[in-house]
Structure 1
Amino acid sequence: MPGCRRLLARLIGAAALLAGLVSPPLAAVERLPKLVLAGPAAAVSTPLIHMIESGALQDVAERIEFHTWKDPDQLRVLALGGKADFIAMPTNVAANLYNRGVSLKLLNVSTWGVLWMVSRDKEAKTLADFRGKEIAMPFRADMPDIVFGLLAEKQGLDAKKDFKLRYVGSPLDAMQLLVTRRVDHALLAEPAVSMALRKTKSFPVSIIAPDLYRSTDLQQEWGRLFKRETRIPQAGIAVIGQALADEKLQARVMAAYEQSLLWCQKNMLKCGEMVAKRIDLLTPEAVADSLAVSQTRHVAAAAARPELEFFFGQLYARNPALVGGKLPDDGFYGLGKAP
């Protein structure tokens, strides 16, 4: 019948139209065979370790590894060789590598305040109080040595002439010198500060006179001398190698990093247990102590740009080579928009 044929044609046409409008199911995102995270034995790495231990990225990669770099030379080998996808590093090192042609972006700044002088002298309050004294100093010509130099110069001191700097490989090496009484003063980064105080039973206060004191807070010195907030954009996470091309992966890793940082701040001892399993010389209690006193907050690199550029500007004025000869351009700042 003509009416039935017309109705059937309409139904077939509608079915065809519907088939054209409805897309086939999206294929599941294929997991990476391996994802490599890297960082130092410092506060910036704590969320990375929690991310692995908690399985936060199990949907992203079949295998996730964490590699510890012990000094800036090892860090540069990792970066130049493309041996990691996401690396926790000092912000000035990231700028230096970028300006020297290494393909990377800084994704965030999470370490804003972990540098302290630790001393046997309870009267020492400012860097000037350490004039003429021997100080164990980790990472020559890198963070924290360059921050010490900046702050010394800002108050009319010459870091090379007015102090006896004893350079060592890492904050944990400086801590060992302190606890074995081979030096009386050291510039340390958390959690090495808390570890030194724990090892000498100097935390948080002792019934008897403590052996060591948490002395000058370099962040407070920064705020006092530069008339700024008492925080320094010291370290964050950089993306490198093939992961540079995958912004969705970067966003996923940064979201996990932020959540892990918040979890660690709320569950300090449990987080400390995870970290101590992967980093020798650290104890869960010392990591928990460090989480309680450190200034750590996830800030996208683009949002942190004004503070980064002020910091880099100070380094450039002192020695342009510290940031690779110039301030990094827009391509250095990954994810997000500047305020």
Structure 2
Amino acid sequence: MKRAFASILASAMMLFALAGCSGGGETTTNETQDPAPEGSSQATEPVTISVGVPTAPPALPVLHMMDAQLLGENVTIDLNVWNAPEELLAMVQGGEHDMYAFPLTVVSTLYNKGLDVRLMNVNTWGVTYFLTTDPDFTTWSDLAGKTVYIPLQSSPPDALTQYFLNEAGLTVGEDVEVIYASTAEVASLLASGQAEYATLIEPQVTSAMNQNSEIRRALSFEEEWQRVTGTDTMIPNAGFGTTQAFIDENPDLVAQFQEAYAESVQWVLDNPAEAAALAEEYLDMNAAVVEAAIPNMGLTFKSAQDARGELDTFYQLLHDFDPSMIGGAMPDDGLYYEG
């Protein structure tokens, strides 16, 4: 089960790709205009925050922060879209970016490899489903002798799918054949009827179901997670992070970003049509698909400290399954932003 570090990064990061919803990489800059209220902690000197995001759920609140000018007149958000694993890794290693949307497996792996990353919050939860066109399928044990398509080896959906299969007494490669592909490819295979069983994430779940009425959400990973862990917790998937160096240099700005991001997560949930329009405007994503998927995107804000219980459970399960998926060890307290 050991896999190379680069492979881990490639798989986990590519989970965020929104197939068919984005027109490719781009940089979008927004300079806020409204004056800061008296007594606020907003920057008094011009500041540019370079933010790395994928075209995926964690980016949507940032778009609202830009559009609503939540950081004040002196703060410019320079939005940089990463579409390939090496792009995000380069952002972190290059030190020219300030904040990032991270898959949780990636931020843990980078931290355990000694990079200066800190997790500020968890914002995306439980976006994974097991889909099928088989009307008789009811449980994991029904997959004996079947072929399952999974978006990207070593990703959290891969780890959890294999965990659930193993818990049902099935061994991948012996009882079940697994075929790995990109998220876009899995969605396309499902929609065309070439794949009968697949693990998939939102918003591709919604997109595939819109294209093929025979596809159904057979299993919610959220419900399966709660069943096997005996808890009522959600599965944490992705969050926003920064570096300790940036926190030390800009403590008030980081705290302000955290507060504005929390506000904007709720705004996206309350205003899906407007949020989808921003996604199309800034990121060239398909507004109709994004709007339909937002209720199932699992957008919920928790600070990293408040999410420690869910994070510890998540990381422990992955560590027990394959330690390399989180960088070889359970992350210690240093990973988590304390603001």
Q: TM-score scaled by structure 2?
A: 0.79
User: Which residue in 1 is equivalent to 2:166?
Assistant: 153
Alignment of 1:242-321 (within 5 A): 242-245=245-248, 246-279=250-283, 282-321=285-324
Residues in 1 aligned to 2:160 and 2:124: alpha-carbon distance in whole angstroms:
14
1:219-245 CA-partner distances (Å, limit 9, x unpaired): 111111121125111111111375232
Determine whether 1:175 maps to 2:187. yes
Cα 1:242/1:107, change in 2 over 3 Å = same
User: Which amino acid counterpart does residue 260 of structure 2 have in structure 1?
Assistant: A
2:43 paired residue among 3, 25, 29: 29
Residues in 2 aligned to 1:101 and 1:76: alpha-carbon distance in whole angstroms:
13
Contact 2:43 2:72 in 1 (8 A): no
User: Which amino acid counterpart does residue 329 of structure 2 have in structure 1?
Assistant: K
Residues in 1 aligned to 2:234 and 2:218: alpha-carbon distance in whole angstroms:
17
Greater CA deviation, 261-270 or 40-49? 40-49
| Matched position secondary structure for 1:291 | helix
- Following TM superposition, by how much is the alpha carbon of 1:152 offset from its aligned partner in structure 2, in angstroms? 2.1
Structure 1 gap segments, 5+ residues each: 1-24, 201-209
User: Which residue in 1 is equivalent to 2:4?
Assistant: none
User: Which residue in 2 is equivalent to 1:42?
Assistant: 56
Contact 1:231 1:295 in 2 (8 A): no
Residues in 2 aligned to 1:250 and 1:91: alpha-carbon distance in whole angstroms:
19
| Matched position secondary structure for 1:43 | coil
Cα 1:54/1:125, change in 2 over 3 Å = farther
Structure 2 gap segments, 5+ residues each: 1-38
Residues in 2 aligned to 1:131 and 1:273: alpha-carbon distance in whole angstroms:
43
Determine whether 1:184 maps to 2:184. no
Cα 1:231/1:61, change in 2 over 3 Å = same
Determine whether 1:85 maps to 2:98. yes
Tell me the percent identity: 27
Contact 2:131 2:216 in 1 (8 A): yes
Determine whether 1:144 maps to 2:157. yes
Greater CA deviation, 77-86 or 311-320? 77-86
Q: CA-atom RMSD, angstroms? A: 2.6
| Matched position secondary structure for 2:236 | coil
Determine whether 1:195 maps to 2:199. no
| Matched position secondary structure for 1:186 | strand
- Following TM superposition, by how much is the alpha carbon of 1:254 offset from its aligned partner in structure 2, in angstroms? 1.2
- Following TM superposition, by how much is the alpha carbon of 1:264 offset from its aligned partner in structure 2, in angstroms? 0.8
| Matched position secondary structure for 1:211 | coil
Residues in 2 aligned to 1:140 and 1:78: alpha-carbon distance in whole angstroms:
23
1:234 paired residue among 203, 215, 237: 237
Greater CA deviation, 291-300 or 159-168? 159-168
Cα 1:155/1:184, change in 2 over 3 Å = closer
Determine whether 1:119 maps to 2:132. yes
| Matched position secondary structure for 1:234 | strand
1:44-88 CA-partner distances (Å, limit 9, x unpaired): 2221232233333353523x2323333544432322223432111
User: Which amino acid counterpart does residue 324 of structure 2 have in structure 1?
Assistant: A
1:59 paired residue among 47, 66, 73: 73
Contact 1:46 1:275 in 2 (8 A): yes
- Following TM superposition, by how much is the alpha carbon of 1:252 offset from its aligned partner in structure 2, in angstroms? 1.1
Residues in 1 aligned to 2:129 and 2:299: alpha-carbon distance in whole angstroms:
15
User: Which amino acid counterpart does residue 312 of structure 2 have in structure 1?
Assistant: E
Residues in 2 aligned to 1:290 and 1:184: alpha-carbon distance in whole angstroms:
22
| Matched position secondary structure for 2:240 | strand
Greater CA deviation, 128-137 or 84-93? 128-137
